[in-house]
Amino acid sequence: MPWYEIRVQGQLDPAWAEWFTGLTITHDTEDSTVLQALAVDQAALHGVLIRIRDLGLELLSVNQVAADSGRGDDRQV
């Protein structure tokens, strides 16, 4: 299954981690946050994007990351 890295403008407060269950949230720079997830299917990926829209966050990028990039756990969207 593909991994996705979703970058949004600004620093997402750690309190929102519960709303993004199963995603890893990291602050990439002072101006962006990266959400990383294993998407089960396209519907799950779109669900995350809808949550981002509902929060009013500015979407900067969505990138698919190779499955063999060193991630060994089973996080899911």
In terms of DSSP bridges, do strands 59-65 and 3-9 run parallel, antiparallel, or are they unpaired? antiparallel
Length of the chain measured in residues: 77
Distances (CA, A) of 53 to 17, 46, 50, 70, 74: 16, 10, 5, 29, 25
- Spell out the domain ranges in the chain: 3-63
Where does 3-63 sit in CATH, by number?
A: 3.30.70
For the entire predicted model, the pTM comes to 0.77
In this prediction, residues 17-38 reach a mean pLDDT of 86
In this prediction, residues 2-28 reach a mean pLDDT of 86
pLDDT at 77: 46
- Band of pLDDT at residue 72, cut at 50, 70 and 90: very low
